[in-house]
Amino acid sequence: MKSSRIFSKEALLAYCFVLPALLYMFVFIGYPLIYNLLLSFQEVNVMTFTKPVKEFVGFQNYIELFSKPGAIMPKIIMNTVVFTIGSIAVQFVVGFALALLFKNKFTGSSLIRGVIIIAWLIPVTVTGLLYKFIFAVNGGIINELLLAWGVIREPIQWLLEPITSMIAVITANIWIGIPFNMILILTGLTTVPETVYESASIDGANTVQKLFLITVPMIKPALMSVLTLGFIYTFKVFDLVWVMTKGGPVFATELLSTYSYRMSFDEFNFSQGAAVANILFVVLFIVGIFYTRIIQEDEVM
Amino acid sequence: MNKKLVSSVLASVVAIGALTGCVGSNKESSPTDAKDAQTGTEAQTTDAKAGDKTEIVIWTYFETPGQKQMLADLMAGFNSSQESIQVSDQYVPFADFKKQLSVGLTGGELPDLVIMDNPDMASYVSMGLFGDITDLIATWDFKDQYFEGPWSSTMLEGKNYGIPFATNCIALYYNKDMFEAAGITNTPTTWEEFKETAEKLTGNGVNGFGFSGVNTEEGTFQFLPWLDGAGAAFNKIDGEEGIRALTFLQDMAKSGALAKECINWNQQDVCKQFMAGKLAMMENGPWQIPTLKAEAPNLNYGVVLLPKDKKYSSCLGGENIGVVEGENKEAAVEFLKYVAQPEIMKESMLAYGSFPPRQDVANDPVWTDDPIQATFIEQLQYAIPRGPDPQWPSYSIALSTALQEVLTEGKTPETAAKDAQAKIDAIK
């Protein structure tokens, strides 16, 4: 019987072990989530802050985000999507390529691999500042190099133009993400037994065939989790963009995370800030569910 | 399976360990907390018997060595001037300042006094951070010595919530050597002269003029003199005057006379560019003087009034010191009274690189005899306050956004002004 199993001694013991983690999750994750959700359905801003009872306004805050004069919500969602897709696509391809490279042991391979990981270990704020200097109009290394090579005549105004500033923040984020992708994919690669490649060679498969017909299918679960984790990390990036552009110029690099912060702590419009954060949360929640599915499938395998 | 079991047990043990660790430390700390609280109340009731003092805490975002020293001297002076109150400070980074206060308001830790940028004061009064001290300062006979603009920024609806701590405004710094090299003998006084001068000084990696056009309060602060000078106002930008101001700045940026990179510069960055000789003129405040003295002692610069269009204008800056609502309000007002004394105020403002908010103190020869300081004092007459309005941050974002839109040529001055006005009109 199932019910007896739930209350068996062993099971009870197991629940005791899980309880602290559950409590922890409720207090530090559940409570803020619920609080934030309630906040987004109330009207809490600088004018209503001291009212003892906050007015319940339903979806008003969500509607206003899209309908108030000069509403930039659609633009911000677009920015966030562009930032995420742009970052992940390049991170993934380069990370994959590097993983394939480092799978082959060569002199100094572990040293170089270690050096590449530094990008992921540096505090993001520092990376942001570094890239702010790298993309400076005058004296920034990218402009200096391009000018010296004769690729451009006039310095590019990297962080001053909408499109180039987006390229700049994506570039910085790619740099941070490559080691993460590389390490996870490399770990996946080591699970593919060498014998499979050997027999493929005997059957006459070339390198490209081996890559797409053996490697990719065999490490597909690892690849999927790299992509979804990458999505989750990238979609909620805040510090990098805040340091590099503060969402500027004129909201060209404003993401959901920076907009939520700006709403809450610059404009004191706490409810709309919470509403933006919830939109961010819903997207990540869906991707998160997708991720746990993949992990489960992976374990079944 | 075994492995899984072992690892989950391990995880639980770690989790429980962490939890009990928490509880343990709580137990340890709670009795002392209680004791602290007890001594606190005791101090209040028995009025400082044997070293029991009311402790008050100030939050500031002061971070330069000069500012820190100034505050430390101020507090040391106060602590030794009387026996019943002990004041200390806590540094909160400027970038986190508003966030920490907002978090504090929803039930977190709050100080007894806050030194903050004056336009933010009204918002926090409205959110209930500051306590009404009108009655506590009713007996002060020197209240009317305070300049009107700064004083009004500490009030809302006729009630007092603090006092001005420092006051300042922005004026035009210029590099004398660059002016000489370009053969310019007169400093510009009108917008037309100013534009011409800036264009002449532009070239060879130097921009004629730079200010902070960043998309924050600092950008608004530096933009307002241009708006006001043309005859527009912070809540009326879409008229002919507002468009004229935006067009003027956009034209300057187009020709390079105004450094376009200014949209990413805060005022500190602007000063760095000026010190590095990349700007011939900058719009900045007197708080940069100590920095210029220390980091660029050989820079040959002068300060003049910002050029006028319809009228001279500047923006009123400076900090207020607000009293947080709570049981230590009276002790906090004692500290304000100490800070407000002419001699003390003079010393601290000299160290801070700002001006005393009291007329009688500002008349001191220390300021009136120094040509640069005197220029700032003159400029102060034309300085307009920001607000006071609890919704100031929303106005501010609309204005700095419009500024960025025209500087990056993303919108025409007409469209930018119209869009900003729509946002301003939507502020309830």
Kindly tell me if the per-residue pLDDT of A2 is higher than 60: no
Q: Which of A18, A137, A268 sits opposite B127 (nearest CB)?
A: A268
Kindly report the nearest CA distance between residue B423 and chain A, in angstroms. 6
Supply the range of the domain harboring residue B289: 169-315+391-425
Q: What part of A 20-39 touches B (C-beta under 8 Å)?
A: 20-21, 23-24
In a domain, B39, yes or no: no
Q: Which of B127, B263, B420 sits opposite A160 (nearest CB)?
A: B263
Nearest C-alpha in A relative to B121: A46
In a domain, B372, yes or no: yes
**How many C-beta atoms surround the C-beta of residue B124 within 10 A?**
26
Residue A182 CA to chain centroid, in angstroms? 15
Kindly tell me if the per-residue pLDDT of A281 is higher than 60: yes
Residues paired with B146 in a beta bridge: B358
Contacts of B410 in chain A (CB under 8 A): 162, 249-250
In a domain, B42, yes or no: no
For B160, the enclosing helix (H) or strand (E) is strand B159-160
Nearest C-alpha in B relative to A244: B264
Query: Which pLDDT value is given to residue A6?
Result: 61
Among B11, B5, B13, B97, residue whose Cα is nearest residue B60 = B97
User: What percent of chain B is predicted at pLDDT more than 70?
Assistant: 88
Q: Which of B9, B127, B398 sits opposite A49 (nearest CB)?
A: B127
Contacts of A14 in chain B (CB under 8 A): 8
Which range (B31-35, B110-114, B120-124) has the least confidence? B31-35
**pLDDT, averaged across chain B:** 85
Distance CA B191, CA B310 (A): 9
Kindly report the nearest CA distance between residue B52 and chain A, in angstroms. 34
Nearest C-alpha in B relative to A263: B394
Distance CA B95, CA B116 (A): 12
In a domain, A215, yes or no: yes
Residues B143 and B267 in one domain: no
CB-based contact (8 Å) between A245 and chain B? yes
Residues B355 and B421 in one domain: no
Kindly report the nearest CA distance between residue A165 and chain B, in angstroms. 11
CB-based contact (8 Å) between A248 and chain B? yes
Q: Are B419 and A68 an interchain contact pair (Cβ–Cβ within 8 Å)?
A: no
Tell me the pLDDT tens digit for each residue of B222-243. Answer: 999 999 999 999 999 999 999 9
Q: Which of B127, B394, B428 sits opposite A50 (nearest CB)?
A: B127
Tell me the pLDDT tens digit for each residue of B177-196. Answer: 999 999 999 999 999 999 99
Beta carbon pairs, A and B, within 8 Å: 106
In a domain, A271, yes or no: yes
Kindly tell me if the per-residue pLDDT of A137 is higher than 90: no
Kindly tell me if the per-residue pLDDT of B351 is higher than 90: no
Which range (A57-71, A254-268, B29-43, B56-70) has the least confidence? B29-43
Residues B280 and B396 in one domain: yes
Kindly tell me if the per-residue pLDDT of B368 is higher than 60: yes
* Confidence (pTM): 0.78
Listed in order, strand segments (DSSP E) in B92-213 are 113-117, 155-156, 159-160, 162-164, 168-169, 171-175, 207-210
Comparing A50 with A186, the larger pLDDT belongs to A186
CB-based contact (8 Å) between A139 and chain B? no
For B60, the enclosing helix (H) or strand (E) is strand B54-60
Nearest C-alpha in B relative to A25: B15
Query: Which pLDDT value is given to residue B148?
Result: 84
Residues B175 and B259 in one domain: yes
In a domain, A9, yes or no: no
Distance CA A252, CA B263 (A): 13
Q: Are A249 and B404 an interchain contact pair (Cβ–Cβ within 8 Å)?
A: yes
Distance CA A197, CA A205 (A): 9
CB-based contact (8 Å) between B401 and chain A? yes
In a domain, A180, yes or no: yes
Tell me the pLDDT tens digit for each residue of B155-165. Answer: 988 999 999 99
Highest average pLDDT, of A107-111, B146-150, B209-213, B292-296, comes from B209-213
Kindly tell me if the per-residue pLDDT of B75 is higher than 80: yes
pLDDT confidence of B109, banded at 50, 70, 90?
confident
Kindly report the nearest CA distance between residue A69 and chain B, in angstroms. 6
Residue B83 CA to chain centroid, in angstroms? 32
Q: Which of B8, B12, B408 sits opposite A250 (nearest CB)?
A: B408
Query: Which pLDDT value is given to residue B237?
Result: 93
In a domain, A63, yes or no: no
Kindly tell me if the per-residue pLDDT of B12 is higher than 60: no
Structural domains of chain A, count: 1
Task: Please answer whether residues B315 and B224 qualify as being in contact, where contact means their C-beta atoms are separated by less than 8 angstroms.
Answer: yes
* DSSP type of residue B131: P
Residues B326 and B242 in one domain: no
Query: Which pLDDT value is given to residue A4?
Result: 53
In a domain, A38, yes or no: no
Q: Which of A24, A262, A265 sits opposite B102 (nearest CB)?
A: A265
Among A255, A142, A153, A252, residue whose Cα is nearest residue B263 = A252
CB-based contact (8 Å) between B116 and chain A? no
The residue behind tokens 């919830």 is: A278
CA dihedral A298, B2, B6, B9 (to 10 degrees): 80
Contacts of B405 in chain A (CB under 8 A): 250
Chain B interface test: which of A266, A269, A270, A271 (most B C-beta within 10 Å) = A266
In a domain, B401, yes or no: yes
CB-based contact (8 Å) between B12 and chain A? yes
Among B269, B364, B285, residue whose Cα is nearest residue B317 = B285
CB-based contact (8 Å) between B333 and chain A? no
CATH number for A177: 1.10.3720.10
Kindly tell me if the per-residue pLDDT of B48 is higher than 80: no
Q: Which of B205, B215, B425 sits opposite A248 (nearest CB)?
A: B215
Residues B57 and B200 in one domain: no
Query: Which pLDDT value is given to residue A71?
Result: 84
* DSSP type of residue A29: I
Among B83, B281, B134, residue whose Cα is nearest residue B199 = B281
Task: Please answer whether residues B223 and B367 qualify as being in contact, where contact means their C-beta atoms are separated by less than 8 angstroms.
Answer: no
CB-based contact (8 Å) between A266 and chain B? yes
Query: Which pLDDT value is given to residue B220?
Result: 94
Kindly tell me if the per-residue pLDDT of B314 is higher than 50: yes
In a domain, B235, yes or no: yes
Supply the range of the domain harboring residue A148: 73-300
**pLDDT, averaged across chain A:** 88
In a domain, A46, yes or no: no
Chain B interface test: which of A19, A250, A251, A264 (most B C-beta within 10 Å) = A250
Residues B331 and B344 in one domain: yes
Contacts of B408 in chain A (CB under 8 A): 160-162, 249-250
Torsion sign (Cα): B224, B228, B233, B239? negative
Distance CA B391, CA A301 (A): 58
Kindly report the nearest CA distance between residue A251 and chain B, in angstroms. 9
Chain A interface test: which of B3, B7, B12 (most A C-beta within 10 Å) = B12
Query: Which pLDDT value is given to residue A204?
Result: 86
Distance CA B401, CA B226 (A): 15
Kindly tell me if the per-residue pLDDT of A142 is higher than 80: yes
Q: Are B99 and A265 an interchain contact pair (Cβ–Cβ within 8 Å)?
A: yes
Residues B120 and B140 in one domain: yes
CB-based contact (8 Å) between A161 and chain B? yes
Half-sphere exposure of A223 (CA within 13 A, CB side): 14
Q: Are A249 and B215 an interchain contact pair (Cβ–Cβ within 8 Å)?
A: yes
Residues B138 and B246 in one domain: no
Task: Please answer whether residues B267 and B285 qualify as being in contact, where contact means their C-beta atoms are separated by less than 8 angstroms.
Answer: yes
Q: Are A20 and B12 an interchain contact pair (Cβ–Cβ within 8 Å)?
A: yes
* DSSP type of residue B260: G
Kindly report the nearest CA distance between residue B137 and chain A, in angstroms. 24
**How many C-beta atoms surround the C-beta of residue A199 within 10 A?**
11
Tell me the pLDDT tens digit for each residue of A41-88. Answer: 998 888 887 778 888 888 989 998 898 887 889 999 999 999 999 999
Q: Are A69 and B426 an interchain contact pair (Cβ–Cβ within 8 Å)?
A: yes
Distance CA B180, CA A250 (A): 37
CATH number for B57: 3.40.190.10
For residue B61, report the phi and psi dihedrals to the nearest 5 degrees: -110, 20
Task: Please answer whether residues A233 and A178 qualify as being in contact, where contact means their C-beta atoms are separated by less than 8 angstroms.
Answer: no
Q: Which of B15, B397, B420 sits opposite A21 (nearest CB)?
A: B15
Structural domains of chain B, count: 2
Q: Are A161 and B408 an interchain contact pair (Cβ–Cβ within 8 Å)?
A: yes
Task: Please answer whether residues B326 and B110 qualify as being in contact, where contact means their C-beta atoms are separated by less than 8 angstroms.
Answer: yes
Report the alpha-carbon angle B176-B179-B180, nearest 5. 85
Kindly report the nearest CA distance between residue A135 and chain B, in angstroms. 12
In a domain, A199, yes or no: yes
Residues B257 and B370 in one domain: no
Buried b (16+ CB within 10 A) or exposed e, B33-67: eeeeeeeeeebbeeebeeebbbbbbbbbbbeeebb
Residues B272 and B398 in one domain: yes
Q: Are A249 and B9 an interchain contact pair (Cβ–Cβ within 8 Å)?
A: no
**Sequence letter at residue B340:** A
User: What percent of chain A is predicted at pLDDT more than 70?
Assistant: 96
Kindly state the average pLDDT of the residues B39-54.
50
Residues B70 and B104 in one domain: yes
